[in-house]
Copies of this chain bind each other. A is one copy, B any other.
């Protein structure tokens, strides 16, 4: 649920004179993305998305995000393609905010992912990793291992309100992750937020990836771990090994994993669970009631973390290790 900024038809028509998209026919604020304001535009040239970047997005990161989408789209990844102004710019300014116009992707995110969806997501994730390999910009992950303890500490002394003993459990888990986090795995640009609402399907086929505003340089297999957390658990909290196998085998069919990556999957999944638990925990304790931001229960990721802590080897995620390694 978004749309923070209202824009007038006069401002928008003026903004559009910089583009070769013909006259503005209509625009509607849409409930998509939580960091930015998004509008569905219709002009004489077709249907587009206008994104205005709100305060939570660092302006200095915008050339990375917008450039990455352009780079990926040029390499055949189905993602929003930034539309250039007549002067060749992908970023403009509207209502005092940086803004960009993107091509519109048909498709819908799936509320009920199946193993087939997971396999398609795995393939698309690996395709994105490969296509981003020669992108020229870097962006550090602002929510990686080193940021977790400060984020935890900023939650203050109310963490045990969520569940008694939680603060001590997080402290212990962070110590484990800090001591054992893998250092020498392949890295590159990852999506870092490839949840179901960021993947569109059309007629059963994956039709696009959106929302690259957490994309960054990090371990490639960490993106896969985020995917396992985001796609492969059922509503009752159980891990679905068929979906796990689909996601991992789909990924490896495009980019085979190394034995070290496979071995690291359980700890990467523990880290991914920690990362989403901590941001949810922070929001749970700090976002005012009744805000536009829907607060998500951090305990969902606490349960996922506990599942991954109990995993003895990556084989428990449901796949045949020989089939996915190089």
A residues sitting closer than 8 Å to B (CB atoms) are 1, 3, 8-10, 12, 23-32, 40, 42, 47, 104-112, 200-203, 288-292
Contacts and interface: CB of A to CB of B under 8 A. Distances in A.
A204 to B, nearest CB: 11
A132 B9 CA distance: 30
Nearest to A291: B290
7 A-B pairs closest in CB distance: A290-B290, A29-B31, A8-B111, A9-B108, A28-B30, A25-B106, A3-B31
Contacts of A30: 28-31, 40
- What's the number of copies of this chain in the assembled complex? 2
Contact of A1 (B3, B8, B107, B203): B3
Nearest to A104: B26
11 contacts: A8-B111, A10-B111, A25-B107, A25-B202, A26-B106, A26-B107, A26-B202, A28-B28, A28-B30, A28-B32, A29-B31
Among A9, A24, A27, A202, residue most surrounded by chain B Cβ atoms (within 10 Å): A9
B9 A111 contact: yes
A123 to B, nearest CB: 20
A47 B292 CA distance: 27
Contacts of A28: 28, 30-32, 40
Task: From A12, A200, A290, name the one whose CB has the most chain B CB atoms within 10 angstroms.
Answer: A290
A287 to B, nearest CB: 11
Given A12-B108, A29-B30, A29-B32, 15 more contacts: A1-B29, A3-B31, A9-B111, A23-B203, A25-B107, A25-B202, A28-B31, A28-B32, A30-B30, A30-B31, A30-B40, A31-B31, A42-B106, A47-B47, A290-B290
Given A25-B202, A40-B40, A290-B291, A109 B9 contact: yes
Contacts of A109: 9
Contacts of A107: 25-26
Contacts of A108: 9, 12, 24, 26-27
